[in-house]
A and B are shown apart, each in its own frame.
Chain A
Amino acid sequence: MEGAALFRFILQASVALALAAIASLLLLFVRRLVIMRIDRANAERRRELEEMVYGALEDPAALTSGRLGARDQRLLLAVVSEMLRGVDGEMRDQLKAILALHIDLDRLMGDLRNAIPADRAKIAFRLFWSDSPAVHDALRAALDDSEPEVVLAAANALLATGQSISLLALVPKLESRSMLGNRAVRDLFRRLAPDNASALFTFLDDPNPAVVVLAIDALARAPSSPALRRLRAAAQTHLAVDVRAAAIRSLGLAQDQQAAGVITAALSDPAWEVRAQAAIAAGRIGDAGALSQLKKRVGDANWWVRLRAAQALAKLGAEGIAALEALAGDEQLNQLVDFVLSERGA
């Protein structure tokens, strides 16, 4: 009748949906079977290679067997590079000798350029032990890779080989791949800081707040008085909330007594992120001058600021504790205060 087309459509759509779902699940099943097969075979071969490596460590004469196939080379690199992360000294040299004998570095460097992204990152990640200038060049080239993961792996591997990297050159690459929020990038900055002090100062004026934040964090790891001066300025005047918060946090971590005034002022910053960090910092440097401001902050509109302010008071000695205990009578605040006091007791 009139609805016949509609009814048929519903029937067909239902059957099509069900069949499509079943077909895709079957495909996923097959995919999983294949992955499992490969994984199992690789794991088995890996174990054999591991035995071979341990055999060679016992008896270096056993090292003379010929070149391995491509898959075996990859697996061997995986096994030995993991061992190299844990061990140093004489055994490290032995392990490197094993790799030198069995791994075709030229091919590996080719793969570093041409393999699929996940493999490129893995290879870069596993080349950290090499002393070969050719490998270092290949890793440097990988800093231009289109995949962020490869760039990071290459940068870390280069660092581990003791090569210097210019942050000035690296940052635009990380920036263009929007990786600046990545935790691994922060660690990279920290590790590169000693060689790149002047670059870090340059970055303090970068238009991108994320770069400034990374520079502040790295500078604060080894605070110098010019660095602290810049941080104090940034904490007061920078337009970006994250930058002000990071600067305040770093001043607290550096226990910069000269920053006490800046930190107290930041307790009234319009952004709660900055106020919370200021409260933490005030507690860290133990500035009794911040007491009255902190008391005010325990009544802040933002929960985090309230918590951090109460915790900071608990660190300011008898006077701070007394202030906290006085606040405990407040119906709104007693839970928070109780919590902070019990935390202190624990």
Chain B
Amino acid sequence: MNLTLLHDLAFDIGIVIAVTVGWLIFVNGVLLNALYSLQLVLAWRALRRRRAARTPLSAWWRFSEQTVPISLLAPAYNEEATIVDSVRSMLALNYPFFEVVVINDGSRDGTLAALIEGFGLAPVKRAFQEHLAHKPIIATYGSARFPRLIVIDKPNGGKADALNAGIDVAGSPLVCAMDADSLLESDSLPRAVQPFIEDFDNVVACGGSIRVVNGSDVRHGRVTRIGMPHDLLSLFQIVEYLRAFLIGRLAWSEMGAMMLISGAFGIFKRQVMLEVGGYTLNTVGEDMEIIVKIHRHLAETGRHGEMRFVPEPVCWTEAPRTLKGLAGQRRRWQRGSLETFFRHRAIMGRGEYGLPGTVGYIHVLITDVIGPPLEALGYIFMPLLYVVGILNLDFFMAYLALTFVFGVGISVGSLALEEIEMRRYPKPSYLLVLMLAAILENFGYRQLNTLWRIQGWWQYVRGHTDWATAARVGFGTKPKRP
């Protein structure tokens, strides 16, 4: 008798827990989708305003003859085959005053030799102060023929280490952190520097849209024809990047809560970089970590600083074409997000850290931290609850709609925005291809992504320590996250 009561009680508790978890998953889905919808609206507003302000008022009055000098920082690790073309295309950028600092991060191949040969480099002396932590610089090279080029040789230390060395050597008030294999648009610098020109005192960093180059033609480090890849994996990633930048990043910037500027291209005030001590060494996601670190630093020193985002494409990047490569990349991104999230968790929800601490942090929490496990749980749990009869059909259908249908609307909506405002895809048929990809993506690709992110979570939990050093060999195919 007692036993059955106990049994019933346990059963009731079990049902209560099951229903609670079901609701949790459901509410998370509603929140996420509400957030995406909000982003879509904000992005649209920003894009429309951009069009209206095509002829900016007084900016050219104050700075018509002047632009801010920029140092491009291009860390290179084992890029022998492409480095000369990449650097050539950087040197040919449209901008009146910039220098290119290539940091050879202890490559094991002939990267340095290729540079020396390709640009007629010779050792030069360059005075600079060591402000930041990085491996010692072995030698600095320059070229009489290419006065804008500086090449630094240093032992392997990873991307953050290489960038820190570059920041130390850079001679301009602005530095542009990028990957040596980023394919820059020739107008990327004037576009991305615009926010600094308009408001130099307040803007501390600026990023731009990154696009997937798979399927397009590249010559001499430039995209010469925009095309479509033939593999689904690349197509999915094109949609992903479009959505992430055109909607996600733009909306964050609108809200004043930029949490990430892609490592493939981001312009920073050098002074601010020095103040925060440069990139944190031995991080997986140094591009996200630096942004949160800067927000935190500004708030703690009581200063105002803005991070901006320009929706125009600034550079193109090669996305992984194999499941294995993609899985590795996504696990790393996930670890990077978690690492930054927990390292700076002290600022979460604290008003004195402004919007990044509140809106930004909560966004990361629901999309990157609890999002993937909840989503995975939902795939298993919700059908189960429905089958055993705990959830009714309406609830289950609403869940399915949130998980599979709403996302289609957001993705296709971002494609429509791109077509209305940017129109960068030369053939109409590309729109249909991308739309199909945006629909298909929800059935399989997204679930795989969730799986990889959970694996990333697992790796993060299992060992903070062992992967940090192991993963640090190269960065040629690294972040460029959307």
User: B-contacting residues of A (Cβ < 8 Å)?
Assistant: 1, 3-4, 6-8, 10-11, 14-15, 17-22, 24-26, 28-29, 32-33, 36, 181-183, 213, 242, 245-246, 273, 276-277, 302-304, 307, 334-336, 338-339, 342-343, 346
The answer to whether B394 touches A4, judged by C-beta atoms less than 8 angstroms apart, is yes
> Do residues B416 and A273 form an inter-chain contact, with CB atoms below 8 A?
no
Determine if B172 and A246 form an interchain contact, defined as CB atoms under 8 angstroms apart: no
Minimum-distance CB pairs A-B, first 8: A17-B409, A181-B57, A14-B401, A21-B412, A7-B398, A7-B394, A18-B409, A32-B428
Q: Closest CB-CB distance, A7 to chain B, in whole Å?
A: 4
Q: If A18-B412, A346-B147 touch, does A28 touch B431 (CB 8 Å cutoff)?
A: yes
Interchain CB contact (< 8 A) of A14 among B127, B406, B413, B431: B406
In contact, A339 and B61 (Cβ under 8 angstroms): no
Distance (Å) between the CB of B80 and the closest chain A CB?
30
- Across the interface, which residues of A come within 8 angstroms of B465, CB to CB? none
B62 contacts the other chain (Cβ, under 8 Å)?
yes
With A21-B412, A213-B61: A342-B171 Cβ-Cβ less than 8 Å: yes
CB of B405 within 8 Å of the partner chain: yes
Cα–Cα distance between A7 and B432 once the two chains are bound (Å): 31
- Which residues on the A side are within 8 Å of B408 (C-beta)? 18, 21-22
Digitize B411-427: 1 where CB-to-A-CB distance is under 8 Å, 0 elsewhere: 11101100110000000
Query: Which chain A residue lies CB-closest to B56?
Result: A181
**Is B394 within 8 A of A8, CB to CB?**
yes
Query: CA of A302 to CA of B199 in the docked complex: distance in angstroms?
Result: 11
Interface check B477, CB cutoff 8 A: no
Q: What B residues does A307 contact at CB under 8 A?
A: 173
In the bound complex, residues from chain B placing their C-beta under 8 Å from that of A7 are 394-395, 397-398
Interface string of B383-416 (1 = CB under 8 A from A): 0000000001011011001100110111111011
**Within the assembled complex, what's the spacing in Å between the Cα atoms of A303 and B63?**
13
> How many interface residues does B have (CB within 8 Å)?
45
Residue among A277, A302, A335, A339 with the highest chain B CB neighbour number at 10 A: A335
Q: Name the residue on B nearest A33 (C-beta).
A: B428
CB distance from A33 to the nearest CB of B (A): 5
User: A130 to B127, alpha carbons, bound, how many Å?
Assistant: 62
Cα A20 to Cα B409 with chains together (Å): 8
Q: Is there a chain A Cβ closer than 8 Å to B435's Cβ? A: yes
Return the chain A residue nearest B431 by Cβ: A29
CB contact under 8 A between A339 and B200, given known A14-B401, A245-B61: no
In-complex Cβ contact of A338 among B58, B127, B201, B413 (8 A): B127
Q: Which of chain B's residues have a CB closer than 8 A to the CB of A8?
A: 394, 398
Residue of B nearest to A338 (CB): B171
Q: Does B301 contact A (CB under 8 A)?
A: no
Contact A181 B405 (CB under 8 A): no
Query: B474 on the interface (CB 8 Å rule)?
Result: no
B379 touches A (CB below 8 Å): no
| Complex alpha-carbon distance, A80 and B63, angstroms | 37
Closest chain-A Cβ to B124's Cβ sits at a distance in Å of 12
Check: B30 CB closer than 8 A to any chain A CB.
yes
CB B249 to nearest CB in A, in angstroms, measures 20
Inter-subunit contact B401/A21 (CB<8 Å): no
Q: With a CB–CB cut-off of 8 A, which chain A residues contact B413?
A: 17, 21, 24
B134 interface contact, C-beta 8 A: no
A17 to B420, CA, bound (A): 18
Whether B405 lies near A15 (C-beta < 8 A) is yes
Question: B69: CB under 8 A from chain A?
Answer: yes
CB neighbours of B200 from chain A (8 A): 303-304
Q: Point out the residues of chain B lying under 8 angstroms from A18, CB to CB.
A: 405-406, 408-409, 412
A303 and B173 within 8 A (CB): yes
Which residues in A have their C-beta under 8 angstroms from that of B57? 181
Are A339 and B69 interface neighbours, CB within 8 A? yes
CA A7 to CA B154, docked complex, whole Å:
60
Given contacts A6-B398, A29-B431, A307-B173, 17 further A-B contacts (CB under 8 A): A7-B397, A14-B401, A14-B402, A17-B409, A18-B408, A21-B409, A21-B411, A21-B416, A22-B435, A25-B416, A28-B420, A181-B57, A213-B61, A277-B62, A338-B171, A339-B69, A339-B173
